[in-house]
């Protein structure tokens, strides 16, 4: 059986690590493939819809695990209705990565912007002047928040220079908290089990 993970490129680093672990563990009897859409399509809902439908119509797999947050597009449930997909729980990439709560079980603060190392590595792809999001727009997008919390999942090295550069563009204080990929991997296990029809076995 062929299973394709189709979703936002924000998941690439973490997902490929998890898939490699699945294959090393010989956890599932299936073949995995991945299709990632550019982060910048999020700023244009029409373009996001077009790219998602285009990918769904061309992907070659027996089952597709759809990796976007529920709130990434307000019409997901409308224009995806005709596709047989495994959907993930979570309104955003943050919740898909780490759940609704912080790693230590605390509830999230609505005035805090939470992000993963992948977000830090790829934020420039989202705030792309060519797609109408310049530095002023970026600061406006973060004006609601009092601080930024970067949850370090250990997926890649985070340098002081990268954190400082992000701070210079947002002007919002940044804190680092330790996390891991346990929740994300367990979510991927559940999604693959559902795709294989094994979820309730």
In-domain check, residue 144: yes
Q: Apex CA 134: angle with CA 129 and CA 140, to 5°?
A: 150
In-domain check, residue 161: yes
Tell me if residue 31 falls in helix, strand or coil: strand
Q: Which H/E stretch holds residue 39?
A: none
86 and 15 inside one domain: yes
CATH code of 18's domain: 3.40.50
136 and 57 inside one domain: no
In-domain check, residue 43: yes
In-domain check, residue 201: no
Structure confidence at residue 11 (pLDDT) = 92
Distance CA 56, CA 135 (A): 33
Q: For the chain, which residues score pLDDT lower than 70?
A: 103, 127-139, 199-201
For residue 97, what are its two tokens?
């990565």
Domain of 174 in residue numbering reads as: 95-178
* Strand-strand pairing, 112-115 and 85-87: unpaired
- Tell me the pTM: 0.86
24 and 86 inside one domain: yes
Q: For the residues of 59-121, what is the DSSP string, one character each?
A: ---SEEEEES-TTS-TTHHHHTTTS-EEEPS-SSHHHHHH-SB-TTSPBPPTTEEEE-HHHHH
Evaluate whether 94 touches 114 at the Cβ level (below 8 Å). Answer: yes
Count structural domains, the chain. Answer: 2
51 and 124 inside one domain: no
In-domain check, residue 200: no
In-domain check, residue 148: yes
11 and 57 inside one domain: yes
For residue 166, what are its two tokens?
């992000």
Distance CA 138, CA 126 (A): 10
61 and 139 inside one domain: no
Structure confidence at residue 135 (pLDDT) = 65
Q: For the residues of 127-192, what is the DSSP string, one character each?
A: S-GGGT--HHHHHHHHTT-SEEEEEE-SSS---HHHHHHHHHHH---EEEEE--SHHHHHHHHHHH
Cα dihedral sign, 102-15-152-43:
negative
Structure confidence at residue 62 (pLDDT) = 95
104 and 122 inside one domain: yes
């Amino acid at each position: 059986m062929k299973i394709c993970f189709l979703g936002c490129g924000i998941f690439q680093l973490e997902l490929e690590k998890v898939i490699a672990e699945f294959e090393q563990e010989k956890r599932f009897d299936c073949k995995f493939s991945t299709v990632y859409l550019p982060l910048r399509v999020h700023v244009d809902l029409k373009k996001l819809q077009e790219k998602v439908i285009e990918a769904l119509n061309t992907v070659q797999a027996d089952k597709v695990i759809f990796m976007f947050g529920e709130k990434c597009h307000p019409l997901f449930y409308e224009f995806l209705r005709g596709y047989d997909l495994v959907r993930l729980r979570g309104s955003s990439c943050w919740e898909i990565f780490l759940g609704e709560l912080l790693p230590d079980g605390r509830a999230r603060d609505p005035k805090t912007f939470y992000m993963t190392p992948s977000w830090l590595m790829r934020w420039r792809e989202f705030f792309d002047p060519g797609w109408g999001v310049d530095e002023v727009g970026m600061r406006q997008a973060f004006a609601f928040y009092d601080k930024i919390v970067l949850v370090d999942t250990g997926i890649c090295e985070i340098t002081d220079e990268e954190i400082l550069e992000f701070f210079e563009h947002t002007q919002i204080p940044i804190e680092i908290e330790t996390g891991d990929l346990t929740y994300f991997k367990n979510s991927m296990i559940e999604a693959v089990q559902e795709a294989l029809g094994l979820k309730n076995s």
